[in-house]
Structures are given as structure tokens and as C-alpha cells.
Amino acid sequence: MYPGAYDPARPAVVTADGNTTLTYGQLEENSLRLADHLRSAGLRRGDHLALLADNDPRVLEVSWAAMRSGLYLTAVNHHLTAEEAAYIVRDCGAAALIVSGALDELGARVGASVPEVTHRLGFDDGSYDAALREASPEPPDVQPRGADMLYSSGTTGRPKGIEPALPDGDIRTDPTTYQLLFQPMYGFGEDTVYLCPAPLYHAAPLRFCHTITATGGTVVLMKSFDAQGALAAIERFKVTHSQWVPTMFVRMLKLPREVRERYDTSSMKVAVHAAAPCPLEVKRRMMEWWGPVLYEYYSSTEGNGITFIGPEEWLRKPGSVGRAGLLGELRVCDEAGKVLPPGETGVVYFERDELPFRYHHDDDRTREAQHPDHPNWTTTGDIGHVDEDGYLYLTDRKAFMIISGGVNIYPQEIEDCLVLHPAVADVAVVGVPDAEMGESVRAVVQAAEGAVAGAELGRELIAYVRERIAHYKVPRDVVFVPALPRTPTGKLAKGKLRSAVQ
């Protein structure tokens, strides 16, 4: 479905502070007007539209305009420097750029770096509203389906554009892959109230909000994640569905008990989480608190495959991210590409009938993502194994693996051990050069408020890990930092971190 299929007075998007509401009537009309404006400006199917915006409800207008115009939409991370953001706008080949008012300064600097992008609109400088007023709200006979072309977070290198094939069909009659997958899986519909605590330039929040407005629900949009603010929004709007990353769970769990218990979260039916492996103890504690409402999926911005697992399944298979089959067949392979049997750890691939994506302007990276013998099997570099029942268990990313004395060590396991220690606010584990072992294990810790960072706490944390996991995985040392370099979606920028602590 599409926004025009629903009651025009119905709220499509509300801000968590309650100050702004975008109705379905407004979403439909404004997205049609913007689509007409972009066509008048010369944009055609397959062209690229760049968006530099914070969590503004009008992002959904832009998303629907692009999707019903056959355009590629590239939402740019507004936490990047002007140089980094300009690289993305230039690399995607944007024919137009839209900037929100909160980012006027960054937008001006990006614009100065990409003078070739001459068609620009601003949410708050009057140009966006003027463009809508002058455009037609009449729907065209054909509304070809567009797609997002988002850039990786760049946690292990320079961001790369992930370009899917443009889908066929009309946006009004042909549902997106995400509607087909997530609507029946999570029961999205007109009674859905969906909390979005994450930035809309990221794949999952953007795609889920688009899916909610395609299925008639209401998006509750937070400007940015705040642990107590999220709980307040759940209670205030009687949120039924939400999506999180594990870092958000950790921060909510670390709120004082009296604060957590102050808010009524009983309206929650489905709390989806993804983007990073969730420590077992974190998930157990969340289910003790919210009940059996945690649903997990494993996928990527590339959309090359997906696994799902529900709460009851997870209690039977703790630590698993689920089974595949709805989008891509799961394959775990060794370094040579040989398919491994259940229980053996290797690189995670998904098999599709055709190559589901390519990296924009980067054939070498595209080939690196493909299986050496089966080009339609692709990987994003994750490592894991399947059990006898086909459930996938992730170990870590291949790029983060530490090789110490010839032994593979996966940081995620050590991080999961440390993250709930009361003196730890945040933690990352990295490999550092070691003359004897090749690499040694180093824990980089942001101490919790009130904890004293120093040698004594470092020894305590090392002893804590030693009691819980194999001794060869225990960090050799602990380094304390004021804060870890995480993206707003919770992903750790380990490339930057390793450079800083080696």
C-alpha cells in the first residue's frame, strides 16, 4: 500500500516531544508534489537524490517522493565531517540535494564542495516549501519504484555505496521486499505505533519507517536516542512496536531500577533488534523486564539475505540470530569457499538467484563480497556457524578477528563479558601488535559514572574476564578512554579506535 490508501487525517509520523504531526494526507500530497518538482527539475528513473537531514518527519516525504519516482535515495550521515559527507554526495552522483534546517552550516560546506550539484532545497530556508507550493499534487499515471542507495558506516574503512538493482513495478501496487518480509513477520498494520529511536540515515530505521507508513501505522520519531526518553515515549504513545540496537538495551538496563520501573512498557508487542550481536545476558534481562517480545533479525544494508528468530525460539536457542529461507539461503564456508558442516565456524554467505547488490563505483569490493565459485553467493564479512537445525550463531566480523600466537580470538565474546560489569559504561576489544604473539588482546573501556579509571580497576576487569572465559582470550591490558567512537546507530568505529590505542 501507499500513504494515499489511508485516512488522510490519520497521523503518519509524530515527534516524540509531541510538537509535530505529519498526517497521511500531508504525507501523500507533499510526497506527490516533491516528486512532481523533481521530475520538472529533470530527474528521471535511476537518478540519485541526496538527503542531509536529522530526524525530521519530512524525511518520510522525501523517501516517498524518491520511491514513487524511480530514484535512488542516498541519506547521508550528518555526523560526518563536511569533507566526508561531500565525498558521499559526489560519489553517488547526486542530481539534487535536500538539507534540513538543523544542518544548514554542514549543508553549506558540503554544497561548496560539490558545486556540480546545482539543484538544492532546504527544509527551513523556504525553498522546500516553495517547491511544494509550485508543484502539482496530482498523481502521475505511472509511479515507478525507487530504492535507497545508502553508504556503509565506514567502521572498517571509507564508506561504500550499496547499490541495489532498481525494482520493477508501481509503488502503489507492488510492495517492497521489506513490506513483504516484515509486515507479516511483526504484524504491522493500522493499529501499529512504532517507536524509531535511531537516525533515519541508517538503513533499518529508514526502511522500517517507510514500511510503517506503507502499512498504515504511526511512527513516533525521536530526535536522538535517550534511554529515559525512549521509555517515556513508549508510555506516552502506547508504543506497540519498536526497533533497537543492543547498545540501547545496555543503556536502558543501566538506568537506576527506580527509573526503569517508573514507566509503563506493557503496550509493547514487538521489540525488534538487529545491527549487532546482542550479549546473551543483556537479552535475558530485557525479556525479564519487557516480557517475551524481543524479535531479532540478522541482515545488512546490502540486503543480501536475512535470518529471523522470535522470543520463544531464542529461549530454546540462546545466542542464535535465527534461520534463513525468506530471503537467501544460508551458507557457511571456509577461507577457500568450501561449504562447512553444522558446528564449524566460517564466513557467512547468502545464496540468491541473482547478485542482489553491487558496491557503487567499486567492482573490486563487489568481487570481494562474492564467493570465489558462486558469484550470486555474497558476504558482508561476518563469521559464524549453523547448528543441526539450521540456526545461525554469529562469532564476530572477520575484519575484527585477533590472531594471537596463531589462535583466532573474536572480540565480541570478550566485549559481551565485560559490558554488564557495573564499572563499565562501554567497551571494545581490539588486537594490538605484539612482538612475540603477533597480536595481543587489549580492552578499551569507558568507565561508568562514579567508577575510578586506573590500574586497580583494570586488574579487576581482567580478573572478571578470567573467571568467565578461556584464559587465552583474556585481555593482556586495559586502556581507559573518555568515550568510544560509536556511530549514532551503536556501531563501533573500530578502525579509528585501533589507530588511536595502538
CATH of the domain at 482: 3.30.300.30
Q: List Cβ neighbours of 157 (8 Å cut-off, separation of 6 or more).
A: 495
Provide the CATH number for the domain around residue 83.
3.40.50.12780
pLDDT band at 321 (very low <50, low <70, confident <90, very high): very high
Domain contains 349: yes
Instruction: Tell whether 41 and 179 lie within a shared domain.
Output: yes
Q: How far is CA 142 from CA 2, 4, 139, 170, 210, in A?
A: 14, 15, 8, 7, 20
What is the helix (H) or strand (E) element at residue 140, kind and residue range? none
Share of the chain above pLDDT 70, in %: 96
Instruction: Tell whether 82 and 206 lie within a shared domain.
Output: yes
Contact present, 182 and 211 (Cβ < 8 Å):
yes
Q: List Cβ neighbours of 275 (8 Å cut-off, separation of 6 or more).
A: 204, 245, 246, 489, 490, 491
R_g of the chain, CA atoms, integer Å: 23
Q: What pairing do the DSSP bridges indicate for beta strands 94-99 and 21-23?
A: unpaired
Instruction: Tell whether 125 and 11 lie within a shared domain.
Output: yes
Instruction: Tell whether 96 and 153 lie within a shared domain.
Output: yes
Domain boundary among 362, 377, 399: 399
Quick: pLDDT tens for 269-317. Answer: 999 999 877 889 999 999 999 999 999 999 988 989 999 999 999 999 9
Domain contains 254: no
Instruction: Tell whether 410 and 387 lie within a shared domain.
Output: no
Instruction: Tell whether 426 and 376 lie within a shared domain.
Output: no
pLDDT at 393 over 80: yes
Instruction: Tell whether 348 and 463 lie within a shared domain.
Output: no
Instruction: Tell whether 384 and 419 lie within a shared domain.
Output: no
Instruction: Tell whether 485 and 436 lie within a shared domain.
Output: yes
Please give the full DSSP string across 430-482, using - where no structure is assigned: EEEEETTTEEEEEEEEEEPTT---SHHHHHHHHHHHHTTS-GGGS-SEEEE-S
Domain contains 286: no
Query: Taking all residues of the chain, what is their mean pLDDT, rounded to a whole number?
Result: 91
Is the pTM for the entire model greater than 0.85? no
Provide the CATH number for the domain around residue 381.
2.30.38.10
pLDDT band at 411 (very low <50, low <70, confident <90, very high): confident
Domain boundary among 220, 252, 285: 220
The residue assigned the cell 547488490 is 357
What is the helix (H) or strand (E) element at residue 137, kind and residue range? none
Instruction: Tell whether 407 and 368 lie within a shared domain.
Output: no
Domain contains 37: yes
Please give the full DSSP string across 331-372, using - where no structure is assigned: EEE-TT-PBPPTT--EEEEEE-SS--EEETT-HHHHHHHB-S
- Checking phi first, is residue 377 left (phi over 0); if not, alpha (psi -120 to 50) or beta? beta
Question: What is the tally of structural domains in the chain?
Answer: 3
Quick: pLDDT tens for 35-85. Answer: 999 999 999 999 999 999 999 999 999 999 999 999 999 999 888 888 889
Task: Name residue 9's amino acid.
Answer: A
- pLDDT for the residue numbered 401: 72
Domain contains 364: yes
Domain contains 273: no
Instruction: Tell whether 342 and 455 lie within a shared domain.
Output: no
Quick: pLDDT tens for 181-207. Answer: 899 999 999 999 999 999 999 899 999
Domain contains 280: no
Tell me the average pLDDT across 332-348: 94
Q: How far is CA 418 from CA 290, 318, 421, in A?
A: 23, 19, 5
pLDDT band at 11 (very low <50, low <70, confident <90, very high): very high
Domain boundary among 342, 368, 399: 399
Q: Which residue range forms the structural domain that includes residue 340?
A: 321-399
Quick: pLDDT tens for 130-170. Answer: 999 999 999 998 899 999 999 976 544 578 899 988 888 88
Domain contains 311: no
Quick: pLDDT tens for 225-270. Answer: 999 999 999 999 999 999 998 889 988 998 999 999 999 999 999 9
Instruction: Tell whether 377 and 407 lie within a shared domain.
Output: no
What is the Cα–Cα distance from 18 to 452, expressed in whole angstroms?
39
pLDDT at 86 over 70: yes
pLDDT band at 489 (very low <50, low <70, confident <90, very high): low
Quick: pLDDT tens for 438-462. Answer: 788 999 999 998 999 999 999 999 9
Contact present, 191 and 217 (Cβ < 8 Å):
yes
